[in-house]
Amino acid sequence: MYISASELRFYIVRLLTTSVLLGLSEPLLSKPCVKKDFGDGIVCICNATYCDTIEQNIHLNSTNYAIYRTTKSGDRLLKNVYKFKKQQSTHSGGTTFTVDRDTKFQKIIGFGGAFTDAAGINIASLSDFQLLNFSLKLEDYKYKIPYIHQAQALNKRKIKLFASPWSAPGWLKASGKMAGGGPLLGRAGDKFHKIWATYFVRFLEDYKKENLTIWGITAQNEPLSGFLPNYAFQTMAFTAESQAGFIAKDLGPALHNHGFEKVKLLIMDDQRTALPRWPKMVMSNPEAAKYVSGVGVHWYMDFIYPPYALSLTHEEVPELFILYTEACEGYQTWLKVKPVILGSWQRFETYVQNIMDDLENWVSGWTDWNLALDMEGGPNWVKNFVDSPVIVNKDKDEFYKQPTYYALAHFSKFLPADSYRISLKSNTKQSTSQLQSLAFSTPEGSTVVIVSNPGSTEQQYDIIDVNRGTIPGVSPANSLLTYVWW
């Protein structure tokens, strides 16, 4: 008998990419979207012979700036180039945004989606504490590894991969099974915890053999769901205290003793309702703290807990980055929502607002749960169907790029790793404005300003760069604009 990486439930290998998202390359010339309205909004149709591409983000001279525009009416990252004005315009009605590069906030890690297994996997048990027969399985070689390599080949910038375990095998859990809740057997430092830490090491080693370096791992996917005994998915329970013990005595030493000390270890990886207590508790354990790099957050309970919790977390543990590690639309089954809504602009705006809120509160990156799903929102072995930025219609041999695809691309395309969020000073309170705006400085030397207008009316404003001039900005109703200049 052998144990596969899939059975270990390192179920999600996620991609953080900042120039290629879901196969988006850097074309020399743009190709327009082939639009189709399914009744809820516009998608872009792609097939084996044609897919829309985005105008290349080329270096402009110092007198010009570019605008990339996506609108409810059908524009998809439409590019235009204009010249800076020497003086502030009069069209804005007095609303101004002034770029301040000297005031920096968090460093950007990236934006992307997850490579997930979509097939049911038989759960195996093993009494061999040396893991002599550990191996990757068909799901790794067929459904993840080839596509990760392809994404790397398409990407001109370096991508980052991180993995999340959903559950130990049943023989290591108090419940005796992978599906549903239950903690690891025993306590931190014992043979059960040490063998689980060894699983992490073997997973990293075997992916390394496939020429795939994992940038980061989370200590556990949604550990709080592990306290729900009837939870449908594989899951495993940790409290902040027990996670700290596992990291301090087992996982941290195992990573460092096997040459993986540079792998970023993320704690929590759960809803922001656990902030800031969870990371504060883990980091209060000095032995655990020396191994931890970041905090993973999921978005599913964001509607009941304000984004300021993220800023509170930064204030409590400023040494840790904050990364949104999972999000998707269509998950609200209790509200009887449709998992997949082709062309939904409302879901576009939900993505944009959440990403903007998160970035404004010290988050360094944002990850969708699935890179691509089928028309039903799956496959999924427990029928937990959801939406995705790319929806595949295998019957017609085509796929649809949802508005949420372009929502992510407005960030991923223009904010490479090691960009910084910088200050964008407004003379209008954001709480009273229809607009939401953020600014960034990139290691490539560009300045990026992103402006969201979810309202039903056009908005005018000025963006001022004291070193370049004035941009007379106009945001159409229901639009997202990305401004770029060097």
Query: Which residues are tagged catalytic?
Result: 222, 326
Distance CA 113, CA 16 (A): 7
For residues 458 and 453, what is the distance between their CA atoms, to the nearest angstrom?
8
Size of the chain in residues: 486
Q: What are residue 53's DSSP bridge partners?
A: 31
